[in-house]
Amino acid sequence: MHFSNFTLVTQRVSLSIAVIAMVNGTGQTALSNVSAAEPAADALEDPGRPIQVFSTGTSVYAWSPETQGVIFSSISYGIILTLIPSGYLADILGAKQMLGAGLLTSSLLTLFTPLAADLGVTLLIAIRTLQGVAQGMAWTGQFTIWAKWAPPLERSKLTSIAGSGAAFGSFIILCVGGLISQALGWPFIFYIFGGIGCVCCLLWFTVIYDDPRHHPCISAREKDYIVSSLAQQPTSPRRSVPIKAMVRCLPLWAIFTGFFSHFWLCTIIITYLPTYISSVLRVSIRDSGLLSSLPFVAAASCTILGGQLADFLLSRNLLRLITVRKLFSSLGLLLPSLCAVALPFVASSHVTTVILLILIPGTSNLCDSGFIINTLDVAPRYASFLMGMSRGFGLMAGIISSTATGFLISQDSMSGWRHVFFLSAAVNMFGLVFYLTFGQAEIQDWAKERTLTRL
Q: What does pLDDT average to in each consecutive run of 10 residues of the chain (455 residues)?
A: 85 86 54 37 45 54 83 84 71 77 91 92 93 83 73 72 78 85 90 92 83 78 78 56 90 95 90 81 73 79 85 88 94 95 89 90 89 87 80 87 87 84 96 95 81 47
Distances in whole angstroms, Cα of residue 354 to Cα of each of 1, 294, 300: 30, 8, 17
Tell me how crowded residue 301 is: count the other CB atoms within 10 A of its CB.
Answer: 15
Identify the pLDDT of residue 262.
Answer: 94
Task: Classify residue 235 by its DSSP letter.
Answer: -
SS3 348: coil
The phi and psi torsions of 34 (rounded to 5 degrees) equal -135, 150
pTM above 0.75, yes or no: no
Identify the pLDDT of residue 96.
Answer: 80
DSSP H helices, 185-284, are 187-207, 220-229, 243-247, 250-280
d(CA 444, CA 378): 6
SS3 242: coil
Identify the pLDDT of residue 39.
Answer: 41
> Which run of H or of E encompasses 53?
strand 50-53
Identify the pLDDT of residue 41.
Answer: 38
d(CA 301, CA 182): 29
DSSP H helices, 236-370, are 243-247, 250-280, 285-315, 321-342, 350-364
Identify the pLDDT of residue 232.
Answer: 58
Rg (CA), the chain: 22
List the beta bridge partners of residue 61.
50
Evaluate whether 423 touches 226 at the Cβ level (below 8 Å).
no
Identify the pLDDT of residue 229.
Answer: 75
Identify the pLDDT of residue 255.
Answer: 95
Q: What is the DSSP string of 381-434?
A: GGHHHHHHHHHHHHHHHHHHHHHHHHHHHHH-HHHHHHHHHHHHHHHHHHHHHH
